[in-house]
Amino acid sequence: MKKKTTFQVVVQLPESFFASHEELLAFEEKLVDSMPKTCEVDGHDIGSGTVNFFILTGSPLAAFNHFRKYLGTNKVRRNLRVAYRDENDDSFINLWPFRDPRPFDYSYPKGIDPFSAKSKRLIPKRSPPGVSKFETLAAEDWNVL
pLDDT score recorded for residue 4: 74
Domain holding 30, by residue range, is: 16-107+132-144
Domain contains 5? no
Task: Please say if the pLDDT value at position 72 is more than 70.
Answer: no
Encode pLDDT of 98-141 as tens digits: 899 999 999 998 888 999 989 988 888 888 787 777 788 888 87
Query: Around Cβ 97, how many Cβ atoms within 10 Å?
Result: 16
- What does each C-alpha distance from 120 to 21, 41, 97, 124 come to in angstroms? 27, 27, 9, 9
Give the range among 26-35, 71-80, 86-95 with minimum mean pLDDT. 71-80
The mean pLDDT value for 18-30 works out to 94
At residue 3, the pLDDT reads: 60
Confidence of residue 96 (pLDDT cuts 50, 70, 90): very high
- Domain presence at residue 66: yes
Predicted confidence band of residue 44 (pLDDT cuts 50, 70, 90): very high
List the one residue out of 35, 72, 76, 70 whose CA is nearest residue 56: 35
Distance between CA atoms of 105 and 120, rounded to whole angstroms? 16
Q: 119 lies in a domain? A: no
What does the alpha-carbon distance between residue 83 and residue 88 come to, in Å, rounded to a whole number? 15
Residue 1 counted as domain residue = no
User: How many domains does the structure of the chain reveal?
Assistant: 1
Looking only at the bridges linking them, the beta strands covering 7-14 and 81-86 are antiparallel
Kindly indicate the confidence band of residue 142, based on its pLDDT and cuts at 50, 70 and 90. confident
In a domain, 125, yes or no: no
Residue 115 domain flag: no
Predicted TM-score (pTM) of this structure: 0.90
Task: Give a yes or no: residue 2 inside a domain.
Answer: no
Is the pLDDT at 1 greater than 60? The verdict is no
57 occurs within a structural domain: yes
For residues 49 and 14, the answer to whether their CB atoms sit within 8 Å is: yes
